[in-house]
Amino acid sequence: MIEIVRGDITKFPAEAIVNAANRYLEHGGGVAYAIAKAAAGDVREYIRISKAAIREQLGKDWIDHGEVVVTPAMNLERHGVKYVIHTVGPYCGGRWDAEKREKLRKAVLGALRKAEELGVRTVAFPAISAGIFGCPLEEVVRTFKKVMEEFMKEAKNVEKVYLVLYSEEDYRRALEVL
């Protein structure tokens, strides 16, 4: 069900990819910027589309932990991607505690449930909050694994979930955790 792979999530052939976003979907750096650039070419255009999606899907201008917004895959479709699911993980700044773990749990579980609702079989995740949000990769991977175990009890459509890590070092560290 879960597989850790090394690669570029913007080129990963899953039906849905998850974006580790900020609450306003401004896509200013990290994996969010890379996904926006790959999807639309013009990051500003993808931000405009993303902000419209927040208003349309949530009726407000931001996303809370556990909420998700779906945007079109656009140029990512050439890799088999149908949807980009945006979720907001915690900001850690190098610190980790139970509150941050719960926020990450909500972010991952919300994205998985949306993928289930969309009827996709494959979903690719980055290590949400482990990049520019500064959460410890090992804790992110442990939390991801626990959420996957919880989600598998309710999954009907989703068959395979990938944790896609860009660097060789992060990939090795994640494998060690599991």
Burial 130-140 (b: 16+ CB within 10 A, else e): bbebebbbebb
Instruction: Please tell me the pTM assigned to this model.
Output: 0.95
Q: Tens digit of pLDDT for each residue in 24-46?
A: 998 878 899 999 999 999 999 99
Q: At what angle do helices 137-152 and 168-177 cross, to 10 degrees?
A: 60
What's the pLDDT score for residue 81?
97
Q: Which residue has the higher pLDDT, 1 or 141?
A: 141
* Domain 2-177, second-level architecture: 3-Layer(aba) Sandwich (3.40)
- DSSP reduced 3-state for 147: helix
Reading the block at residue 104, the tokens are: 């990450």
Long-range contacts of 90-94 (CB under 8 A, 24+ apart): 90/65, 90/129, 90/133, 90/135, 91/129, 91/133, 91/134, 92/129, 92/133, 92/134, 92/135, 92/136, 93/133, 93/134, 94/134, 94/136
Round to the nearest angstrom and report the end-to-end CA distance of the chain: 14
Reading the block at residue 88, the tokens are: 């907001």
Q: Tens digit of pLDDT for each residue in 46-84?
A: 999 999 999 999 999 999 999 999 999 999 999 999 999
Q: Tens digit of pLDDT for each residue in 127-162?
A: 999 988 999 999 999 999 999 999 989 999 999 999
User: What is the total residue count of the chain?
Assistant: 178
Where do the domains of the chain lie? 2-177
